[in-house]
Amino acid sequence: MRFWVETLGCPKNHVDSDKLTGLLGSQGYSPATTVDDADLVVVNTCAFIESAREESIDVVLHMADVKKTSARLVVTGCMAERYGDELADALPEVDLVAGFGQNLTAATPVSLGTTRRSDFDLLNLPRPATTSPWAYVKIAEGCDRRCGFCAIPTFRGDQRSRSLDDIVREANELTSSGVKELVLIAQDLASWGNDRRRHALGEAVEVLDTGGTQPLVDLTRRLTNDVERLRLLYLYPSGLTERLIEAILATNVPYFDLSLQHVSRSHLRRMNRWGDGERFLERIAAIRAAEPHATFRSSFILGYPGETEDDHTQLLEFLEAAQLDWVGFFPYSAEHGTVAATLPDQVPSPLALERLREASDIQDAITARRRDDMVGEEYELLIDSPGVGRTVKECPEIDGVVFVPSSHPVGTLVRCRITGSRGTDLEAEVL
């Protein structure tokens, strides 16, 4: 029996697919070389925003068209979890709609009602050997925050962190198989371990910048010497403590992925989020003072309910002041079950898109300038695939890449000089 897994959405979904692949392998399935060769076709969907849901549905329908008639079609992931029964009714082509941690090879449909139950914990499943020199490591599932726009906690639940030992074990397995870069991910990475500590202590633990201990600092320090590159993604800004900054700078990947979403203080409070542009700029300046070559990524939502012209102007001014390397902009999408969907002052979609274009234009020029500034400088490059590598300034799959002659073996670290830029990508000669 052969299987095919099609994955949509964010890095967290890709890790889930890796773990499903490992599980199917342990159940006697082997990977198919093409979709139409598979006996089991799994689509791991994304429900992030409307466009992601539409893409997921399109892919499911495409898979239904191209798979062989006898193959079973299973839909899993965020859409399955969130709209399970509705999805099963709307897509008669699908044999099974299965939420997280449910048995994809079960013969009968799984109810996704309130009685659903995980057959296994995806986080702790083994994963198959990787052929890539980098790998995501998912260190927690779910989120304890309640940002106004985000439906994730409603279907992924509160945060459940993996233990330090489990994570270190998986990291060591990956590095032993040749992985040179580990990318730690979670919905709210900076809060990793707080839930375990709360349970252990039986009390609430607030980990802000008070000098208290932060579990992620321990984990980062613990993994730093086990791998050539350690990268952390999705840092909620209040979790970016002094100690965590120090720990990240000690990893040799001074890359800060700050989940900011906006900068206007009043607007952030409407989003039920911490911080403001001034604090963010102070934190960025402090990091640059310690490491002038630090790289910054962030994402912002445009058109969240109540966003005024003044809020938007603050964001544009912040972009100019912060000079971030990489930014993702998303138009607000009203999600069922979120606070924001019920708020007054919804921003008309054309206005949200106009604001998005305005912010993107500013940031595109900044990103291009920062890429141009790298020309002539020397970096260490990790060769990801023939002719394509990354310095520490590029996160896999999200940022640009560096092109080099294809003679350098995949998985090697080489010294290079950047010779030119092509949009967000760079060209380099190996020294």
Minimum distance, C-beta of residue 262 to ligand SF4, in the bound complex (Å): 12
In the bound state with ligand SF4, the residue whose beta carbon lies nearer, of 4 and 136, is 136
Minimum distance, C-beta of residue 123 to ligand SF4, in the bound complex (Å): 16
In the bound state with ligand SF4, the residue whose beta carbon lies nearer, of 188 and 384, is 188
In the bound state with ligand SF4, the residue whose beta carbon lies nearer, of 274 and 403, is 274
Minimum distance, C-beta of residue 115 to ligand SF4, in the bound complex (Å): 25
Backbone angles phi, psi at 15, to 5 degrees: -65, -40
Minimum distance, C-beta of residue 309 to ligand SF4, in the bound complex (Å): 25
Cβ 17 vs Cβ 44: under 8 Å:
yes
Q: Classify residue 36 by its DSSP letter.
A: G
- Chain centroid to Cα 372, Å, comes to 26
Give the list of residues 6+ apart from residue 145 with CB closer than 8 angstroms, or none: 153, 188, 191, 236, 272, 273
Distance CA 318, CA 323 (A): 8
Q: How many residues does the chain have?
A: 431
Minimum distance, C-beta of residue 117 to ligand SF4, in the bound complex (Å): 23
Minimum distance, C-beta of residue 153 to ligand SF4, in the bound complex (Å): 5
Q: Which position has the token pair 């290079």?
A: 416
In the bound state with ligand SF4, the residue whose beta carbon lies nearer, of 141 and 399, is 141
Q: Which residues, in sequence order, are bridge partners of residue 160?
A: 141
Q: Which position has the token pair 């500034």?
A: 373
Q: Which run of H or E residues covers position 370?
A: helix 349-372
Minimum distance, C-beta of residue 236 to ligand SF4, in the bound complex (Å): 5
Alpha helices in 265-329 (DSSP H): 265-270, 277-290, 309-322
In the bound state with ligand SF4, the residue whose beta carbon lies nearer, of 145 and 417, is 145
Q: Which run of H or E residues covers position 300?
A: strand 295-302
Task: Specify burial of residue 383 (Cβ count, 10 A radius: 0-12, 13-18, 19+).
Answer: buried
Cβ 60 vs Cβ 94: under 8 Å:
yes
- 325, HSE (Cβ side, Cα atoms, 13 Å): 26
Query: Which of 220, 189, 221, 223 has its CA nearest to residue 207?
Result: 189
Minimum distance, C-beta of residue 272 to ligand SF4, in the bound complex (Å): 8
Give the list of residues 6+ apart from residue 236 with CB closer than 8 angstroms, or none: 145, 188, 189, 190, 191, 259, 274
Distance CA 57, CA 52 (A): 9
Q: Which run of H or E residues covers position 184?
A: strand 181-185
Q: Classify residue 166 by its DSSP letter.
A: H
Minimum distance, C-beta of residue 34 to ligand SF4, in the bound complex (Å): 35
Cβ 72 vs Cβ 95: under 8 Å:
yes
Minimum distance, C-beta of residue 78 to ligand SF4, in the bound complex (Å): 12
Minimum distance, C-beta of residue 156 to ligand SF4, in the bound complex (Å): 8
- Chain centroid to Cα 122, Å, comes to 16
Written as six digits, the tokens of 131 are 């052929």
In the bound state with ligand SF4, the residue whose beta carbon lies nearer, of 98 and 150, is 150
In the bound state with ligand SF4, the residue whose beta carbon lies nearer, of 156 and 312, is 156
In the bound state with ligand SF4, the residue whose beta carbon lies nearer, of 12 and 243, is 12
In the bound state with ligand SF4, the residue whose beta carbon lies nearer, of 145 and 288, is 145
In the bound state with ligand SF4, the residue whose beta carbon lies nearer, of 44 and 391, is 44
In the bound state with ligand SF4, the residue whose beta carbon lies nearer, of 150 and 319, is 150
Cβ 246 vs Cβ 259: under 8 Å:
no
Chain residues binding ligand SF4 by CB under 6 A are 143, 145-147, 150, 152-153, 187-188, 236
